[in-house]
Structure 1
Amino acid sequence: MELSPIWLLVLATFVPAAMLSCAMLYPVRRGAERLGLLDRPGHRKVHTQPTPLGGGIGIWFAVVTTFALGTLAVGVCRMTPSLAAYLPPSIAESLDAIWARTGELWGVLAAATALAVLGLIDDRRGLSPWIRLAVQILVAAAVVFGLGFSLTAFIPVPWLTKCLSVLWIVALINSFNMLDNMDALSGGVAAIVAAMLSVVMLSTPDPESGQPQMLVAAMLLVVSGSLVGFLWHNRPPARIFMGDSGSYLVGFLVAVATLLATYAGYQEQARPHAVFAPLCVMAVPLYDMTTVLWIRIREGRSPFEGDKSHFSHRLVDLGLSKVQAVLTIHLLTLTCGLAAVLLSFVTLPGALLVAGIVLCMLTLIVILESTGWRKDEP
């Protein structure tokens, strides 16, 4: 039986990335202490045992290796028509277009590697938050201005769109970093986000070709697969943490994938409101980051100061166990992700209903949390 192009894409991206990540993290776990990658319990930590911090190494290895193998496979198939004949016609016809974008892809991976190294240094030695933020902005600006990536924002002011694109990348990097505070939380949310966005890419045709956006979907599926392999080791009780290297890498790749994507569709099937799909699927991580920053500033503390004011911690304060809090956030993220997928299929009135559902859900979260805030008041 011939596999459909979509299932072949999943088998060629998600599956090997998951296997590579899972396998690589066994030696990383064993060598973490020698590498200085050990997170010890402290005043704001929820774990009670020293835990390796090298999850980002396994995720990076899986992402880069999968794309290296994919680049090699595309190159070989282009030079060997007899091999390309075994591929589904839609993929075989796209080989030249995919190859033309490999330079762009490896530019993104080089930038992602720079951020992973930044996070690894921070995991080992600790860096000033201003240094971390400055490097994040520089890398984001290099990608946006150097490679020409930008948000599909329909704003007729190019420099403003570029600046918003840099802000979007930095915001996503830090949202996943801040969400990494409980076992399987950030990794699980990121895996769901990447998987849902890949569905959006496969269901939103490119305006020029009318075909699914295979390359962007492949990037997201590789990220999602790498995270699933990592989650095998990060499930409660975690044997290894993602660390800053992993959260920076994942946040950056998800952000860049949203910039590479096209959401409006084509011709009579155009759905310009689908441009809000990334914002919709990222609603929960962005809610966590926004509320944490607001709480810290309101209390007169530095926004960079770590604490236990995160969404997951607040759910635990309401009476949920840590596992229940993580699963609750996963479910909320999946719900927002399904809403994002719907944006690619519905007309404007339907899109307004989808947005209303997401807003109602976030409002419900605020109401539930406010009961805890009132209990804390003197």
Structure 2
Amino acid sequence: MTLPLAITTAFLITLTTIPVIIKIVKSLDLLDRPDKRKIHSVSTPSLGGIGIFAGIILALLISISFSDLASQKYFLGGIILIFLLGVRDDLSSLLAQHKLVVQIFASFLVVFFGGIKIEGFNGLFGVESFPWILDELFTIFVIVVMTNAFNLIDGIDGLAGSIALVISAFLGWAAFQSGSMIEASIAFSISGAALGFLLYNWYPSKIFMGDTGSMVFGFMLTALMINFLTTPSPPSVIESPVATSLSLFVIPVYDTLRVFLIRFFTGRHPLAPDRNHIHHVLLKLGLNHAQSTLSLITYNTIIISLTVAFQGIGELWLMLFMVLITVSIGAILDRKVIRRESRRLAKIIPPEIELSKTHTSV
């Protein structure tokens, strides 16, 4: 009974609070206005993450006993810190290093005091367990990176919320199959909040989740993924938890690595905003927000399904398969964008003009 209660409560609270947030944000003129690095053309309310956070927290208070919640106090404390950081950043942008300090501290709470940590790779690459302290430091690194990776994919209507819905639904199912009811309630609370928010965030969006929502989603889902990765009794169909975890986050992981490499090889700052994300690529190919989101979510779902279906081939082969197919599809899309841009420039600058320029310079 607690799981349906969790998802229903989170859905209804988020659904009913978002219109209030939209009204308040508009009255205070706290709108996300278009600029050269943003792709929306209309000033839109942000701070939708407040509704998401309210839905998740109230769902947990209703569906989980206080004694069980007490055992999650450091995890909840970390979520609250990330939420406050997101609100502060949405109201007035913070420097990246300031955000990083708070994210590291929130991760420190859940790792060193909450006991959420990656202790090894289940034998992948010969790593069964990490030496002392390295497991804590590596886990903090993973949480911080994935929290920001989730923030980076929140670039078009519906994308971050849809990915959160897919990941949380899978992790909720896995936790339920493992008998981890607290984690299942948390995961399904995220699902309910994501679904309620998507009704207002689907193209054309009435509100954005902002850093508040994307960082809360990223932080919570990464912590749940680590619990899934380290559970002593995973679902019987899961033989490769590392590869399965990667399949859940394949979109944000690929997108983050992709944009960082592009910025590195073009001599730009790794944290400098741009329009090189995978969703920007799809938009450049002529898809709208809804079509781009559906394409990426479909791909994510297919990768998860194939990973679960072929668990028996082993962690390494599954990961190699994911990397190969994801990078290959990304390269094909990039090539299409380059060709499309070349054709566009050819129409703007006819060949005879280029030829005359060449003769003049000679």
Q: Taking structure 2 as the reference length, what is the TM-score of the superposition? A: 0.85
Task: After superposition, give the CA deviation of every residue in 1:151-193 in whole Å (9 maximum; x if it has no partner).
Answer: 1423231311111110111111111110011000111111111
What are structure 1's unaligned runs of at least 5 residues? 1-7, 76-98, 206-211
C-alpha distance in structure 1 between counterparts of 2:141 and 2:226, whole Å: 12
2:108 maps to 141
SS in 2 for 1:130: helix
- Does the 8 Å CA contact 1:33/1:52 hold for their aligned counterparts? yes
SS in 2 for 1:32: helix
Q: Structure 1 340/268 Cα, relative in aligned 2: closer, same or farther at 3 Å?
A: closer
- Does the 8 Å CA contact 2:281/2:334 hold for their aligned counterparts? no
1:169 corresponds to 2:162: no
C-alpha distance in structure 1 between counterparts of 2:304 and 2:188, whole Å: 15
Paired residue type of 1:162: E
C-alpha distance in structure 2 between counterparts of 1:268 and 1:177, whole Å: 29
1:368 corresponds to 2:332: yes
1:55 corresponds to 2:48: yes
The one of 7, 12, 36 equivalent to 1:14 is 7
> Kindly, what percent of the aligned residue pairs are identical?
26
- Does the 8 Å CA contact 1:196/1:337 hold for their aligned counterparts? no
C-alpha distance in structure 1 between counterparts of 2:235 and 2:58, whole Å: 39
Number of matched pairs: 335
2:18 maps to 25
Task: After superposition, give the CA deviation of every residue in 1:219-243 in whole Å (9 maximum; x if it has no partner).
Answer: 1111111011000110111000010
Q: Structure 1 352/155 Cα, relative in aligned 2: closer, same or farther at 3 Å?
A: closer
- Does the 8 Å CA contact 1:264/1:272 hold for their aligned counterparts? no
C-alpha distance in structure 1 between counterparts of 2:334 and 2:21, whole Å: 41
Shift of 1:105: 2.1
Shift of 1:285: 1.0
* Segment of structure 1 superposing worse, 136-145 or 52-61: 136-145
Task: After superposition, give the CA deviation of every residue in 1:256-289 in whole Å (9 maximum; x if it has no partner).
Answer: 1122335565599696522332222101111011
- Does the 8 Å CA contact 1:188/1:227 hold for their aligned counterparts? yes
2:59 maps to 66
Q: How does 1:1-378 map to 2 (within 5 A)?
A: 8-35=1-28, 37-71=30-64, 74=65, 99=67, 101-153=68-120, 154-203=128-177, 205=178, 212-261=179-228, 265-266=232-233, 273-342=240-309, 346-347=311-312, 349=313, 354-355=318-319, 357-372=321-336, 374-375=338-339
Paired residue type of 1:108: F
What are structure 2's unaligned runs of at least 5 residues? 121-127, 346-362
- Does the 8 Å CA contact 1:175/1:251 hold for their aligned counterparts? yes
Shift of 1:48: 1.2
Task: After superposition, give the CA deviation of every residue in 1:348-377 in whole Å (9 maximum; x if it has no partner).
Answer: x26566445533431332231241364358
Q: Structure 1 289/133 Cα, relative in aligned 2: closer, same or farther at 3 Å?
A: same
- Does the 8 Å CA contact 1:149/1:260 hold for their aligned counterparts? yes
Paired residue type of 2:302: T
- Does the 8 Å CA contact 1:339/1:354 hold for their aligned counterparts? no
C-alpha distance in structure 1 between counterparts of 2:320 and 2:12, whole Å: 39
- Does the 8 Å CA contact 2:228/2:241 hold for their aligned counterparts? no
Paired residue type of 1:290: L
Paired residue type of 1:281: L
Aligned CA-pair RMSD: 2.5
Shift of 1:42: 0.7
C-alpha distance in structure 1 between counterparts of 2:63 and 2:176, whole Å: 18
- Does the 8 Å CA contact 1:53/1:242 hold for their aligned counterparts? yes
* Segment of structure 1 superposing worse, 172-181 or 147-156: 147-156
Shift of 1:316: 1.8
SS in 1 for 2:161: helix
Shift of 1:146: 2.1
Paired residue type of 1:201: A
Task: After superposition, give the CA deviation of every residue in 1:187-236 in whole Å (9 maximum; x if it has no partner).
Answer: 11111111122222233x3xxxxxx2222121111111101100011011
- Does the 8 Å CA contact 1:264/1:273 hold for their aligned counterparts? no
Paired residue type of 2:40: H
